[in-house]
Each structure stands twice: as structure tokens, then as C-alpha cells.
């Protein structure tokens, strides 16, 4: 697509300049000096189109001025061709408050041909000018909508990241605090261990939030599973991890980490579990994740946890299933395709 655009960036200015200058030289009824000046003006208008995307207002002004000169010298056969392209580029880059006055000026220049050409020809060129403006305005609107969608998607991504980081960190801290309270009187050493774990979890959560809010940073991945489950083990939860090393695209790696993180957070908050199993394995073109616990689970569809996991999977073309297990406990299973994320 970029190659096509580059070709048009060369063809449109060069073709417009040469065509308009050739017609002026062949049809002008004025002297050599006036005709040569008009031809140079046509060349300048066409050449200016090279900058129509970077400087649309200035190019529109040059095209209108040069078009007016050409109209006066050879009005019977030449229309302001450069201005027809320039008004479309201006409409694509600027709001109607700027582009509509330029269109009105262009229509005024074209209307000079009513004196020397048929009304049908002049009205046709006016229609082409209006169409060029409409196409440019439509492109500007599409670009604006795409930018709005990109902003909304980034906001949603940040919301998911913040939810996962904060929910997991707070859940671990709550569990550790409860454990410290249980043993505070008769096992102060265990209480101190829980307090140290609370401090470590809080620092890690703050550090991740700073990286997340501060801009681009290293994305967490499955290689950090050990750091993820260690606070849970310190809180008394038995965590078994089986992870097959699989080369992963960065987007899949991060989403897989967040899905496991959120599943473990749900176990801490809702399951009242004593044991949880985490399984990560690669299949043909797909990464399979499974988190199973022996607790009672929570309500599927309540809160942001499970919907957030599903959103992450859907963005990659994958799926997440969550619910009570037939033999008791609660499970989360995700399938994330690898090819779609490369």
C-alpha cells in the first residue's frame, strides 16, 4: 500500500504539471511571454502537489492562484486541475471550517469558464471539485474514527492491565494479612513472615504499576510464573506448576501470564482453596492454559475477572472457559492461537 501511495505521490504532481502546461502552450491566444508565464504557473501548481499532505493549506493557496492565472490565459480548454487534487487533500487533513472556504474559492475560479465554455462542461468540473472535497472529508472522518478506536482500545488495555495488577496484589496482601492475624499470638515468627511477604508483594505491585503507567516497559510473560506463585505459596496455598517451554509471540506471552494471574487471583478471592494446579502446554499452533483448584469457586460472570480473561483471549482469536469442575473445585481453561499474533 505504501508503494502505491508513493507512486501516486510522483505521478499526480508530475502528470498534472505536464498536462496543464502542455495544454496552455497549445491553446493560449496570448503572446509568448504571457503564455510562457502561464505554463510555468501550471508547472508550479502541479509540482506543489508533492507537498499536498504535509502542507495542504499552502498547496491549496498555490493551486488556486496558479489555476486563476491559467483560467485567464487559456480558459476554453484548461480547468484548475491541480486545485481539484489539492482541495481533496485539504479536506482530508483539515476540518470543514478550513476546507469548505477553499472549495468555495475553487468553485469561483471554475465559474470563470461560464464566459467561454458550455455550461455542461463547467458544471461537470464543479461537480468534480465537490466530489474531490467529499472524498477527502470522508477520509478525514475515517481517520478520526480510527484514531478514536485506537484510543478506546488502548484505554481498555490499560484498564485490563491495571485491574489484573491491582486485583492480584491486593488479594495476596489480604490473604497474607489474614494469615498473620491467625498466628500473631502463638507464632509471631510466622506472622513476621507474612508481614514480610505483604511488604514484598506491595513493593512488586507498586513497581509494576510504575512501569505500566510510566510508558513502554518490559512486558511480563510466562517466564515470571515462579515470581507470580511464590507469594501464594507463602500464604499457605499449595501451587503446582507444570510449564512446557514454548516459543511464544510477545502478545500471547503477556496475555497468557495475565490470564494465569487473574485465575490465581480468583482462587485467592473466591475459592477458599488449599491447592491449585497451573498447566501450560503447547499444541499445534496453540497455547493451552489450565488453572484448577479444589475450592468452591465464585460466580461466573460476576466482576471483571473472567470477562477480562475472555477479552484478552478474544483479541488473539482464542477462547476462555471457566466454571465448576465435575469432580469438585473450579477451573479456567484458555486456548490462545499462536499464528494470529505473529
Mean pLDDT (whole number) for 330-338? 91
pLDDT at 26 over 70: no
Alpha helices, H only, the chain: 2-27, 32-48, 56-73, 81-93, 96-110, 119-183, 188-214, 225-234, 250-266, 305-315
Mean pLDDT (whole number) for 51-63? 83
Per-residue pLDDT band at 272 (split at 50, 70, 90): confident
Q: What percent of the chain has pLDDT over 90?
A: 11
Regarding pTM above 0.75, the answer is no
pLDDT at 134 over 90: yes
Per-residue pLDDT band at 76 (split at 50, 70, 90): very low
Q: Higher model confidence: residue 30 or residue 187?
A: 187
Given a contact cutoff of 8 angstroms between Cβ atoms, the answer to whether 228 and 264 are in contact is yes
Instruction: Return the pLDDT at 297.
Output: 60
pLDDT at 322 over 50: yes
- State the residue for C-alpha cell 514454548: 246
The least confident of 80-89, 101-110, 142-151, 187-196 is 142-151
Cα–Cα distance for residue pair 21/5, rounded to 1 Å = 24
Q: Higher model confidence: residue 187 or residue 102?
A: 102
**Interval 205-250: pLDDT, tens:** 887 787 777 655 567 888 888 888 887 887 778 889 998 888 888 8
Q: Higher model confidence: residue 164 or residue 301?
A: 164
Instruction: Return the pLDDT at 339.
Output: 72
Cβ atoms within 10 Å of 75's Cβ, excluding its own: 17
Per-residue pLDDT band at 62 (split at 50, 70, 90): confident
Q: Higher model confidence: residue 271 or residue 311?
A: 311
The least confident of 74-83, 175-184, 230-239, 316-325 is 74-83
Checking DSSP bridges between strand 286-293 and strand 330-337, what pairing results, if any? Answer: antiparallel
The least confident of 74-88, 301-315, 317-331 is 74-88
Instruction: Return the pLDDT at 157.
Output: 75
Exposed, middle or buried: residue 263 (CB in 10 Å: 0-12, 13-18, 19+)?
Answer: buried
Instruction: Give residues with Cβ within 8 angstroms of 67, minimum separation 6.
Output: 45, 79, 80, 81, 82, 83, 106, 109
Amino acid at each position: 500500500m505504501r508503494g502505491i501511495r508513493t507512486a501516486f505521490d510522483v505521478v499526480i504532481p508530475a502528470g498534472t504539471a505536464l498536462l496543464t502546461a502542455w495544454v496552455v502552450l497549445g491553446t493560449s491566444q496570448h503572446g509568448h511571454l504571457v503564455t510562457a508565464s502561464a505554463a510555468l504557473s501550471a508547472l508550479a501548481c502541479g509540482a506543489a502537489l508533492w507537498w499536498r499532505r504535509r502542507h495542504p493549506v499552502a498547496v491549496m493557496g498555490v493551486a488556486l492562484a496558479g489555476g486563476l492565472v491559467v483560467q485567464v490565459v487559456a480558459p476554453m480548454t484548461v480547468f484548475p486541475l491541480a486545485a481539484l487534487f489539492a482541495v481533496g487533500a485539504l479536506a482530508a487533513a483539515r476540518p470543514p471550517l478550513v476546507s469548505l472556504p477553499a472549495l468555495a474559492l475553487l468553485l469561483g475560479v471554475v465559474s470563470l469558464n461560464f464566459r467561454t465554455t458550455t455550461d455542461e462542461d463547467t458544471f461537470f468540473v464543479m461537480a468534480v471539485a465537490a466530489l474531490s472535497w467529499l472524498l477527502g472529508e470522508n477520509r478525514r472522518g475515517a481517520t478520526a474514527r480510527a484514531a478514536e478506536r485506537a484510543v478506546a482500545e488502548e484505554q481498555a488495555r490499560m484498564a485490563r492491565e491495571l485491574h489484573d495488577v491491582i486485583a492480584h496484589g491486593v488479594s495476596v496482601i489480604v490473604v497474607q494479612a489474614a494469615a498473620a492475624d491467625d498466628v500473631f499470638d502463638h507464632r509471631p515468627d510466622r506472622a513476621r513472615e507474612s508481614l514480610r511477604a505483604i511488604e514484598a508483594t506491595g513493593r512488586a505491585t507498586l513497581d509494576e504499576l510504575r512501569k505500566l503507567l510510566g510508558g513502554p516497559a518490559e512486558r511480563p510473560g510466562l517466564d515470571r510464573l515462579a515470581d507470580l506463585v511464590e507469594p501464594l505459596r507463602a500464604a499457605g496455598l499449595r501451587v503446582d506448576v507444570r510449564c512446557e517451554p514454548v516459543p511464544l509471540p510477545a502478545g500471547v506471552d503477556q496475555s497468557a501470564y495475565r490470564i494465569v494471574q487473574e485465575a490465581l487471583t480468583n482462587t485467592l478471592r473466591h475459592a477458599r482453596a488449599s491447592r491449585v494446579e497451573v498447566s501450560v502446554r503447547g499444541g499445534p499452533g496453540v497455547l493451552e492454559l489450565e488453572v484448577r483448584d479444589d475450592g468452591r469457586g465464585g460466580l461466573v460472570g460476576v466482576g471483571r475477572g473472567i470477562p477480562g480473561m475472555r477479552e484478552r483471549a478474544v483479541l488473539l482469536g482464542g477462547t476462555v472457559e471457566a466454571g465448576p469442575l465435575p469432580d469438585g473445585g473450579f477451573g479456567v481453561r484458555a486456548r490462545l492461537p499462536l499464528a494470529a499474533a505473529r
